Amino acid sequence: MSLRRLASTALLATLLLAGGPVTVSGSDKIFDDPPPPLPKELLQNAKLIARGDEIWKEQCTHCHGSKAYPGKAPKLVPRRYTPEFVWDRVHNGFRGMPPWKEVYSEEDIIAIVAYVLSDDFWP
């Protein structure tokens, strides 16, 4: 292998190794993940709503909802939200709101959105 060829192979390997998601330390992410399609029919799925209800009771009510002490997290006002907004806050997090993308699967996060926007939602 010529020296020149060797050098370009090494450069390519370095570039490949350096690749990957662009993040500056920890939560200082540059881009938030965009939401998947969230059609109405999907969000009305009874199984998803029931799963979202479980997660809400397990993970969310101690900061939001009637069990939380006042001022810990805002009371949710679902009629003001789009599905994409709820998905973004839950998946990516925002200031005091922790991101859940490492904790829950994509389906679980959609289940949470379905529940929060459903008639069953009970903070």
Residues that bind ligand HEC (CB under 6 A): 55, 59-60, 63-64, 73-74, 76-77, 86, 89-90, 94-98, 100, 112, 116
Report the DSSP beta bridge partners of residue 94: 97
Are 116 and 93 contacting, i.e. CB atoms less than 8 angstroms apart?
A: no
Instruction: Give min distance, CB of 121 to ligand HEC, in A.
Output: 10
Reference 100, options 114, 86, 115; nearest CA is 86
Instruction: Give min distance, CB of 70 to ligand HEC, in A.
Output: 13
What lies within 8 Å, CB to CB, of 31 at 6+ separation is: 22
Instruction: Give min distance, CB of 8 to ligand HEC, in A.
Output: 48
Nearer to ligand HEC, 45 or 108 (CB): 108
